[in-house]
Structure 1
Amino acid sequence: MSTTPSPHEQTVHIVDDDEALRDSLIWLLESEGHTVATYASGEEFLQAWTPELSGCLLLDVRMPGMSGLEIFDRLIALHNTLPVIFITGHGDVPMAVSALKRGAADFIEKPFNDRDMLKLIEQSLAQAREQAASREAGAATARRIEALTSREREVLQLIVGGRLNKQIADELGISIKTVEVHRARVMEKMGVESLAELVQLVLAAESGRTAVRA
Protein backbone atom coordinates (compact mmCIF):
# COMPACT_ATOMS: atom_id res chain seq x y z
CA MET A 1 0.00 0.00 0.00
CA SER A 2 1.46 3.39 -0.93
CA THR A 3 0.30 5.33 2.10
CA THR A 4 -1.70 5.01 5.29
CA PRO A 5 -4.30 7.78 5.13
CA SER A 6 -6.32 9.08 8.03
CA PRO A 7 -9.71 7.30 8.05
CA HIS A 8 -11.53 10.64 7.86
CA GLU A 9 -9.32 12.17 5.13
CA GLN A 10 -10.76 11.99 1.62
CA THR A 11 -8.53 9.49 -0.14
CA VAL A 12 -8.59 7.88 -3.58
CA HIS A 13 -8.14 4.15 -2.91
CA ILE A 14 -6.79 2.26 -5.94
CA VAL A 15 -7.06 -1.53 -6.14
CA ASP A 16 -5.22 -2.92 -9.18
CA ASP A 17 -2.64 -5.69 -9.64
CA ASP A 18 -0.86 -3.69 -12.38
CA GLU A 19 1.99 -1.85 -10.61
CA ALA A 20 2.68 0.41 -13.60
CA LEU A 21 -0.96 1.53 -13.66
CA ARG A 22 -0.95 2.14 -9.91
CA ASP A 23 2.19 4.25 -10.21
CA SER A 24 0.79 6.31 -13.09
CA LEU A 25 -2.45 6.93 -11.18
CA ILE A 26 -0.52 7.98 -8.09
CA TRP A 27 1.41 10.53 -10.17
CA LEU A 28 -1.76 11.80 -11.90
CA LEU A 29 -3.87 12.13 -8.78
CA GLU A 30 -1.20 13.49 -6.44
CA SER A 31 -0.30 16.10 -9.06
CA GLU A 32 -3.90 17.33 -8.69
CA GLY A 33 -3.63 17.46 -4.89
CA HIS A 34 -5.42 14.20 -4.07
CA THR A 35 -4.36 11.83 -1.30
CA VAL A 36 -3.86 8.33 -2.72
CA ALA A 37 -3.61 4.83 -1.26
CA THR A 38 -2.90 1.83 -3.48
CA TYR A 39 -3.41 -1.90 -3.02
CA ALA A 40 -2.08 -4.72 -5.20
CA SER A 41 -5.06 -6.98 -4.51
CA GLY A 42 -8.61 -6.98 -3.27
CA GLU A 43 -7.58 -9.02 -0.26
CA GLU A 44 -5.08 -6.32 0.73
CA PHE A 45 -7.72 -3.62 0.45
CA LEU A 46 -10.30 -5.57 2.45
CA GLN A 47 -7.77 -6.00 5.25
CA ALA A 48 -7.33 -2.22 5.35
CA TRP A 49 -11.03 -1.36 4.93
CA THR A 50 -12.95 0.18 7.81
CA PRO A 51 -16.41 1.81 7.82
CA GLU A 52 -14.74 5.16 8.56
CA LEU A 53 -12.77 5.31 5.29
CA SER A 54 -13.54 8.47 3.34
CA GLY A 55 -13.09 9.24 -0.35
CA CYS A 56 -13.68 6.87 -3.27
CA LEU A 57 -12.47 3.54 -4.62
CA LEU A 58 -10.96 2.75 -8.04
CA LEU A 59 -11.40 -0.99 -8.54
CA ASP A 60 -10.04 -3.09 -11.40
CA VAL A 61 -12.54 -5.66 -12.66
CA ARG A 62 -10.05 -8.42 -13.53
CA MET A 63 -7.35 -9.36 -11.02
CA PRO A 64 -5.73 -12.57 -9.78
CA GLY A 65 -7.41 -13.88 -6.66
CA MET A 66 -10.58 -11.95 -5.88
CA SER A 67 -12.03 -10.16 -8.90
CA GLY A 68 -13.25 -6.59 -8.68
CA LEU A 69 -16.84 -7.79 -8.73
CA GLU A 70 -16.21 -10.22 -5.86
CA ILE A 71 -14.66 -7.40 -3.85
CA PHE A 72 -17.64 -5.19 -4.70
CA ASP A 73 -20.05 -7.88 -3.47
CA ARG A 74 -18.08 -8.14 -0.22
CA LEU A 75 -18.19 -4.37 0.21
CA ILE A 76 -21.95 -4.32 -0.34
CA ALA A 77 -22.30 -6.87 2.46
CA LEU A 78 -20.12 -4.64 4.66
CA HIS A 79 -22.35 -1.59 3.94
CA ASN A 80 -19.44 0.22 2.33
CA THR A 81 -20.09 3.92 1.71
CA LEU A 82 -17.14 4.65 -0.61
CA PRO A 83 -18.29 5.42 -4.17
CA VAL A 84 -16.81 2.71 -6.42
CA ILE A 85 -15.45 3.37 -9.92
CA PHE A 86 -14.62 0.22 -11.89
CA ILE A 87 -11.61 0.15 -14.21
CA THR A 88 -12.52 -2.15 -17.07
CA GLY A 89 -10.75 -3.76 -19.98
CA HIS A 90 -12.25 -4.69 -23.33
CA GLY A 91 -15.21 -7.02 -22.88
CA ASP A 92 -15.79 -6.09 -19.23
CA VAL A 93 -18.41 -3.41 -19.90
CA PRO A 94 -21.47 -5.69 -19.40
CA MET A 95 -20.11 -6.64 -15.96
CA ALA A 96 -19.52 -2.99 -15.11
CA VAL A 97 -23.06 -2.07 -16.18
CA SER A 98 -24.37 -4.83 -13.92
CA ALA A 99 -22.34 -3.34 -11.06
CA LEU A 100 -23.81 0.10 -11.76
CA LYS A 101 -27.28 -1.34 -11.28
CA ARG A 102 -26.16 -2.60 -7.85
CA GLY A 103 -24.82 0.75 -6.71
CA ALA A 104 -21.40 1.35 -8.28
CA ALA A 105 -20.73 5.02 -9.02
CA ASP A 106 -19.33 4.62 -12.55
CA PHE A 107 -16.81 2.77 -14.72
CA ILE A 108 -14.01 3.77 -17.08
CA GLU A 109 -12.41 1.71 -19.85
CA LYS A 110 -8.68 1.16 -20.37
CA PRO A 111 -6.85 2.92 -21.88
CA PHE A 112 -8.49 5.96 -20.31
CA ASN A 113 -7.96 9.67 -20.80
CA ASP A 114 -6.43 11.41 -17.78
CA ARG A 115 -9.00 14.22 -17.90
CA ASP A 116 -11.85 11.72 -17.94
CA MET A 117 -10.38 9.90 -14.97
CA LEU A 118 -9.92 13.12 -12.98
CA LYS A 119 -13.48 14.17 -13.75
CA LEU A 120 -14.84 10.86 -12.47
CA ILE A 121 -12.72 11.12 -9.33
CA GLU A 122 -13.93 14.65 -8.60
CA GLN A 123 -17.55 13.62 -9.12
CA SER A 124 -17.15 10.62 -6.82
CA LEU A 125 -15.44 12.62 -4.08
CA ALA A 126 -18.20 15.23 -4.26
CA GLN A 127 -20.77 12.42 -4.03
CA ALA A 128 -18.95 11.01 -1.00
CA ARG A 129 -18.97 14.42 0.72
CA GLU A 130 -22.69 14.85 0.09
CA GLN A 131 -23.47 11.38 1.38
CA ALA A 132 -21.33 11.91 4.49
CA ALA A 133 -23.09 15.20 5.21
CA SER A 134 -26.46 13.50 4.73
CA ARG A 135 -25.52 10.66 7.10
CA GLU A 136 -24.34 13.14 9.73
CA ALA A 137 -27.54 15.16 9.40
CA GLY A 138 -29.57 11.97 9.77
CA ALA A 139 -27.57 10.96 12.83
CA ALA A 140 -28.12 14.40 14.38
CA THR A 141 -31.86 14.11 13.77
CA ALA A 142 -31.88 10.63 15.32
CA ARG A 143 -30.13 12.01 18.42
CA ARG A 144 -32.76 14.73 18.74
CA ILE A 145 -35.56 12.19 18.42
CA GLU A 146 -33.92 10.03 21.11
CA ALA A 147 -33.90 13.08 23.40
CA LEU A 148 -37.71 13.37 23.18
CA THR A 149 -39.92 11.83 25.82
CA SER A 150 -41.88 8.72 24.84
CA ARG A 151 -45.09 10.80 24.60
CA GLU A 152 -43.36 13.42 22.46
CA ARG A 153 -42.14 10.68 20.12
CA GLU A 154 -45.71 9.37 19.82
CA VAL A 155 -46.94 12.85 18.96
CA LEU A 156 -44.08 13.30 16.48
CA GLN A 157 -44.89 10.08 14.63
CA LEU A 158 -48.56 11.01 14.40
CA ILE A 159 -47.68 14.50 13.12
CA VAL A 160 -45.41 13.00 10.47
CA GLY A 161 -48.22 10.58 9.63
CA GLY A 162 -50.41 13.57 8.76
CA ARG A 163 -52.73 13.56 11.79
CA LEU A 164 -54.39 16.78 12.94
CA ASN A 165 -54.24 17.87 16.57
CA LYS A 166 -57.79 16.65 17.25
CA GLN A 167 -57.03 13.26 15.72
CA ILE A 168 -53.85 12.96 17.80
CA ALA A 169 -55.78 13.88 20.94
CA ASP A 170 -58.43 11.24 20.21
CA GLU A 171 -55.86 8.56 19.38
CA LEU A 172 -53.76 9.17 22.49
CA GLY A 173 -56.66 9.93 24.81
CA ILE A 174 -55.38 13.38 25.78
CA SER A 175 -56.71 16.92 25.35
CA ILE A 176 -56.06 19.06 22.30
CA LYS A 177 -54.33 21.57 24.59
CA THR A 178 -51.93 18.85 25.78
CA VAL A 179 -51.23 17.89 22.15
CA GLU A 180 -50.42 21.54 21.40
CA VAL A 181 -47.98 21.65 24.33
CA HIS A 182 -46.25 18.42 23.20
CA ARG A 183 -46.16 19.66 19.63
CA ALA A 184 -44.50 22.93 20.66
CA ARG A 185 -41.89 21.04 22.69
CA VAL A 186 -41.21 18.68 19.79
CA MET A 187 -40.68 21.62 17.44
CA GLU A 188 -38.31 23.27 19.92
CA LYS A 189 -36.27 20.13 20.63
CA MET A 190 -36.04 19.25 16.93
CA GLY A 191 -34.84 22.77 16.14
CA VAL A 192 -37.50 23.57 13.53
CA GLU A 193 -39.92 26.45 13.08
CA SER A 194 -42.57 24.96 10.80
CA LEU A 195 -44.55 21.75 10.46
CA ALA A 196 -43.25 21.26 6.91
CA GLU A 197 -39.63 21.54 8.12
CA LEU A 198 -40.31 19.02 10.88
CA VAL A 199 -41.84 16.47 8.50
CA GLN A 200 -39.05 16.90 5.93
CA LEU A 201 -36.39 16.48 8.63
CA VAL A 202 -37.85 13.24 9.98
CA LEU A 203 -38.58 11.75 6.56
CA ALA A 204 -35.05 12.56 5.35
CA ALA A 205 -33.57 10.85 8.42
CA GLU A 206 -35.75 7.76 7.92
CA SER A 207 -34.82 7.64 4.22
CA GLY A 208 -31.13 7.82 5.09
CA ARG A 209 -31.39 4.92 7.54
CA THR A 210 -33.22 2.84 4.95
CA ALA A 211 -30.53 3.56 2.34
CA VAL A 212 -27.76 2.51 4.73
CA ARG A 213 -29.55 -0.74 5.60
CA ALA A 214 -30.12 -1.50 1.91
Structure 2
Amino acid sequence: MAQSSKTLIRVVDDDIDLLNSVAFLLECEGYECSIYSSAATFLRADVPSRPGCLILDEQMPEMTGQELLSELNRREYMLPVIFLTAHGDIDMAVRTMIDGAVDFQQKPLLPEKLLCSVARAVQIDLDRRGGAVDLKDEILMFNKLTPREEKVCRLVADGLINKQIGERLGISKRTVDHIRSSALSKLPFKTAMQLASFFNRIDAFKERQRSG
Protein backbone atom coordinates (compact mmCIF):
# COMPACT_ATOMS: atom_id res chain seq x y z
CA MET A 1 0.00 0.00 0.00
CA ALA A 2 1.35 3.42 -0.89
CA GLN A 3 2.49 5.56 2.01
CA SER A 4 0.01 8.30 1.07
CA SER A 5 -2.91 5.90 1.65
CA LYS A 6 -1.93 4.98 5.21
CA THR A 7 -4.04 6.58 7.89
CA LEU A 8 -2.53 9.21 10.17
CA ILE A 9 -3.96 10.43 13.48
CA ARG A 10 -3.07 14.06 14.26
CA VAL A 11 -3.24 15.35 17.83
CA VAL A 12 -3.11 19.10 18.58
CA ASP A 13 -2.88 20.17 22.22
CA ASP A 14 -0.68 22.58 24.17
CA ASP A 15 -0.45 20.04 27.03
CA ILE A 16 2.73 18.08 26.23
CA ASP A 17 1.98 15.34 28.76
CA LEU A 18 -1.44 14.74 27.20
CA LEU A 19 0.08 14.76 23.70
CA ASN A 20 2.55 12.07 24.66
CA SER A 21 0.00 9.92 26.49
CA VAL A 22 -2.53 10.05 23.62
CA ALA A 23 0.22 9.30 21.09
CA PHE A 24 1.34 6.31 23.19
CA LEU A 25 -2.24 5.01 23.40
CA LEU A 26 -2.77 5.32 19.65
CA GLU A 27 0.57 3.78 18.72
CA CYS A 28 -0.10 0.82 21.01
CA GLU A 29 -3.25 0.26 18.93
CA GLY A 30 -1.18 0.28 15.73
CA TYR A 31 -1.97 3.80 14.53
CA GLU A 32 0.60 6.17 13.08
CA CYS A 33 0.42 9.44 14.97
CA SER A 34 1.72 13.01 14.61
CA ILE A 35 1.56 15.43 17.53
CA TYR A 36 1.53 19.25 17.50
CA SER A 37 1.68 21.66 20.42
CA SER A 38 -0.11 24.47 18.56
CA ALA A 39 -2.61 25.02 15.79
CA ALA A 40 -0.08 27.05 13.81
CA THR A 41 2.44 24.20 13.86
CA PHE A 42 -0.22 21.80 12.65
CA LEU A 43 -1.23 24.09 9.77
CA ARG A 44 2.41 24.42 8.67
CA ALA A 45 3.37 20.76 8.90
CA ASP A 46 0.34 18.57 8.19
CA VAL A 47 -0.13 16.71 4.91
CA PRO A 48 -3.84 16.94 3.95
CA SER A 49 -3.57 14.04 1.49
CA ARG A 50 -3.09 11.54 4.34
CA PRO A 51 -6.44 10.08 5.44
CA GLY A 52 -7.21 9.82 9.14
CA CYS A 53 -8.55 12.28 11.68
CA LEU A 54 -7.64 15.17 13.97
CA ILE A 55 -7.88 15.07 17.77
CA LEU A 56 -8.08 18.72 18.75
CA ASP A 57 -7.96 20.55 22.07
CA GLU A 58 -10.28 23.54 22.43
CA GLN A 59 -8.47 25.75 24.96
CA MET A 60 -5.13 26.73 23.39
CA PRO A 61 -3.27 30.06 23.27
CA GLU A 62 -3.06 32.11 20.05
CA MET A 63 -5.57 29.95 18.12
CA THR A 64 -8.30 27.94 19.84
CA GLY A 65 -9.59 24.62 18.62
CA GLN A 66 -12.78 26.19 17.29
CA GLU A 67 -10.76 28.83 15.45
CA LEU A 68 -8.62 26.11 13.89
CA LEU A 69 -11.73 24.20 12.84
CA SER A 70 -13.08 27.37 11.19
CA GLU A 71 -9.78 27.81 9.34
CA LEU A 72 -9.85 24.19 8.17
CA ASN A 73 -13.39 24.72 6.88
CA ARG A 74 -12.27 27.88 5.07
CA ARG A 75 -9.51 25.86 3.37
CA GLU A 76 -12.01 23.09 2.56
CA TYR A 77 -9.83 20.72 4.57
CA MET A 78 -12.43 18.11 5.47
CA LEU A 79 -10.50 16.07 8.03
CA PRO A 80 -12.82 14.58 10.70
CA VAL A 81 -12.25 16.33 14.04
CA ILE A 82 -12.62 14.94 17.55
CA PHE A 83 -12.77 17.80 20.06
CA LEU A 84 -11.19 17.54 23.51
CA THR A 85 -11.82 19.97 26.31
CA ALA A 86 -11.67 20.32 30.06
CA HIS A 87 -14.00 23.32 29.86
CA GLY A 88 -16.81 22.07 27.66
CA ASP A 89 -20.51 22.63 27.86
CA ILE A 90 -23.54 21.58 25.83
CA ASP A 91 -23.63 24.78 23.76
CA MET A 92 -19.99 24.36 22.77
CA ALA A 93 -20.55 20.72 21.82
CA VAL A 94 -23.44 21.74 19.57
CA ARG A 95 -21.36 24.49 17.92
CA THR A 96 -18.46 22.16 17.17
CA MET A 97 -20.78 19.55 15.68
CA ILE A 98 -22.44 22.18 13.49
CA ASP A 99 -18.99 23.27 12.31
CA GLY A 100 -18.16 19.72 11.30
CA ALA A 101 -16.66 17.94 14.31
CA VAL A 102 -17.55 14.24 14.52
CA ASP A 103 -17.24 13.89 18.28
CA PHE A 104 -16.78 15.86 21.48
CA GLN A 105 -15.03 14.40 24.53
CA GLN A 106 -14.17 15.92 27.88
CA LYS A 107 -10.94 15.47 29.79
CA PRO A 108 -9.84 13.37 31.59
CA LEU A 109 -10.11 11.05 28.60
CA LEU A 110 -11.48 7.52 28.70
CA PRO A 111 -9.10 5.46 26.51
CA GLU A 112 -11.66 2.98 25.15
CA LYS A 113 -14.12 5.74 24.35
CA LEU A 114 -11.43 7.74 22.53
CA LEU A 115 -10.25 4.71 20.53
CA CYS A 116 -13.80 3.96 19.39
CA SER A 117 -14.21 7.57 18.33
CA VAL A 118 -10.91 7.50 16.42
CA ALA A 119 -11.84 4.31 14.56
CA ARG A 120 -15.19 5.81 13.57
CA ALA A 121 -13.60 9.11 12.46
CA VAL A 122 -10.99 7.31 10.35
CA GLN A 123 -13.68 5.26 8.64
CA ILE A 124 -15.69 8.42 7.96
CA ASP A 125 -12.63 9.95 6.29
CA LEU A 126 -11.87 6.85 4.21
CA ASP A 127 -15.49 6.70 3.05
CA ARG A 128 -15.48 10.42 2.27
CA ARG A 129 -12.34 10.04 0.17
CA GLY A 130 -13.92 7.22 -1.76
CA GLY A 131 -11.97 4.50 0.02
CA ALA A 132 -8.39 5.75 0.25
CA VAL A 133 -7.44 2.17 1.07
CA ASP A 134 -7.89 0.46 -2.34
CA LEU A 135 -10.23 -2.54 -2.27
CA LYS A 136 -7.77 -4.41 -4.52
CA ASP A 137 -5.11 -3.96 -1.85
CA GLU A 138 -7.53 -5.18 0.81
CA ILE A 139 -8.38 -8.29 -1.19
CA LEU A 140 -4.67 -9.07 -1.52
CA MET A 141 -4.27 -8.64 2.24
CA PHE A 142 -7.30 -10.85 2.91
CA ASN A 143 -5.95 -13.59 0.64
CA LYS A 144 -2.72 -13.69 2.69
CA LEU A 145 -4.65 -14.75 5.79
CA THR A 146 -4.81 -18.44 6.62
CA PRO A 147 -8.30 -19.86 7.35
CA ARG A 148 -7.47 -19.94 11.07
CA GLU A 149 -6.16 -16.34 11.03
CA GLU A 150 -9.33 -15.20 9.29
CA LYS A 151 -11.48 -16.99 11.87
CA VAL A 152 -9.60 -15.43 14.79
CA CYS A 153 -9.72 -11.95 13.22
CA ARG A 154 -13.46 -12.22 12.62
CA LEU A 155 -13.97 -13.07 16.29
CA VAL A 156 -11.78 -10.08 17.25
CA ALA A 157 -14.00 -7.98 14.99
CA ASP A 158 -17.01 -9.29 16.93
CA GLY A 159 -15.46 -7.86 20.10
CA LEU A 160 -14.20 -11.07 21.72
CA ILE A 161 -10.98 -11.03 23.73
CA ASN A 162 -8.30 -13.69 23.20
CA LYS A 163 -9.41 -15.87 26.12
CA GLN A 164 -12.98 -15.95 24.78
CA ILE A 165 -11.73 -16.72 21.28
CA GLY A 166 -9.71 -19.64 22.62
CA GLU A 167 -12.76 -21.01 24.41
CA ARG A 168 -14.89 -20.59 21.26
CA LEU A 169 -12.35 -22.40 19.05
CA GLY A 170 -11.19 -24.95 21.59
CA ILE A 171 -7.58 -23.75 21.62
CA SER A 172 -5.37 -22.12 24.25
CA LYS A 173 -5.16 -18.37 24.77
CA ARG A 174 -1.45 -18.61 23.96
CA THR A 175 -2.25 -20.13 20.57
CA VAL A 176 -4.79 -17.36 19.93
CA ASP A 177 -2.14 -14.77 20.85
CA HIS A 178 0.21 -16.27 18.26
CA ILE A 179 -2.42 -16.52 15.50
CA ARG A 180 -3.71 -13.01 16.15
CA SER A 181 -0.20 -11.54 16.10
CA SER A 182 0.59 -13.31 12.84
CA ALA A 183 -2.66 -12.14 11.24
CA LEU A 184 -2.35 -8.51 12.31
CA SER A 185 1.21 -8.37 10.95
CA LYS A 186 -0.44 -8.78 7.53
CA LEU A 187 -3.09 -6.09 8.04
CA PRO A 188 -3.03 -2.34 8.76
CA PHE A 189 -6.18 -2.68 10.89
CA LYS A 190 -5.64 -3.04 14.64
CA THR A 191 -8.93 -2.29 16.39
CA ALA A 192 -12.08 -4.42 16.42
CA MET A 193 -14.04 -1.70 14.64
CA GLN A 194 -11.43 -1.42 11.85
CA LEU A 195 -11.41 -5.19 11.39
CA ALA A 196 -15.21 -5.28 11.29
CA SER A 197 -15.27 -2.63 8.56
CA PHE A 198 -12.58 -4.53 6.65
CA PHE A 199 -14.52 -7.80 6.72
CA ASN A 200 -17.74 -6.01 5.79
CA ARG A 201 -16.04 -4.68 2.64
CA ILE A 202 -14.56 -8.10 1.82
CA ASP A 203 -17.90 -9.86 2.36
CA ALA A 204 -19.72 -7.29 0.22
CA PHE A 205 -17.18 -7.84 -2.56
CA LYS A 206 -17.62 -11.62 -2.36
CA GLU A 207 -21.39 -11.24 -2.49
CA ARG A 208 -21.11 -9.07 -5.63
CA GLN A 209 -18.87 -11.72 -7.19
CA ARG A 210 -21.44 -14.43 -6.47
CA SER A 211 -24.31 -12.31 -7.76
CA GLY A 212 -22.46 -11.16 -10.86
TM-score band by shorter chain is 0.5 to 0.7
Counterpart-to-counterpart distance in 2, 1:114 and 1:135:
26
1:104 to 87, 101, 104: 101
Written as runs of structure 1 = structure 2, the 5 A alignment for 1:42-191 is 42-133=39-130
Unpaired runs of at least 5, structure 1: 1-5, 137-214
Counterpart-to-counterpart distance in 2, 1:113 and 1:135:
29
Counterpart-to-counterpart distance in 2, 1:72 and 1:81:
10
Spell out, residue by residue over 1:13-57, the C-alpha distance to the aligned partner (whole angstroms, 9 max, x if none): 000000000010011000000000000000000112343132100
Counterpart-to-counterpart distance in 1, 2:74 and 2:106:
26
Using the TM superposition, give the Cα deviation of residue 91 of structure 1 relative to its aligned residue in structure 2, in angstroms. 3.5
Spell out, residue by residue over 1:108-134, the C-alpha distance to the aligned partner (whole angstroms, 9 max, x if none): 110121000000000001111111116
Query: How many percent of aligned residue pairs carry the same amino acid?
Result: 36
Does residue 12 of structure 2 align to residue 15 of structure 1? yes
Counterpart-to-counterpart distance in 1, 2:81 and 2:119:
12
Spell out, residue by residue over 1:86-117, the C-alpha distance to the aligned partner (whole angstroms, 9 max, x if none): 00113444223201012111111101210000
Unpaired runs of at least 5, structure 2: 134-212
TM-score relative to the length of structure 1: 0.58
Contact 2:12 2:55 in 1 (8 A): yes
| Misfit runs of 4+, over 6 Å | none
Spell out, residue by residue over 1:120-179, the C-alpha distance to the aligned partner (whole angstroms, 9 max, x if none): 00000111111111699xxxxxxxxxxxxxxxxxxxxxxxxxxxxxxxxxxxxxxxxxxx
TM-score relative to the length of structure 2: 0.58
Supply the RMSD in Å over aligned alpha carbons. Answer: 2.1
Between structure 1 and structure 2, the one with the greater Rg is 1
Contact 1:53 1:82 in 2 (8 A): no
**Alignment: residue pair count:** 132
Counterpart-to-counterpart distance in 2, 1:60 and 1:92:
14
Counterpart-to-counterpart distance in 2, 1:38 and 1:135:
22
Contact 1:42 1:71 in 2 (8 A): yes
SS at 1:81's partner residue? Answer: coil
Residue identity opposite 1:104 in structure 2: A
Counterpart-to-counterpart distance in 1, 2:62 and 2:50:
23
Contact 1:61 1:92 in 2 (8 A): no
Counterpart-to-counterpart distance in 1, 2:72 and 2:54:
11
Using the TM superposition, give the Cα deviation of residue 7 of structure 1 relative to its aligned residue in structure 2, in angstroms. 4.5
The change in CA–CA distance for 1:7 and 1:40 in structure 2 (over 3 A counts) is farther
The change in CA–CA distance for 1:22 and 1:135 in structure 2 (over 3 A counts) is closer
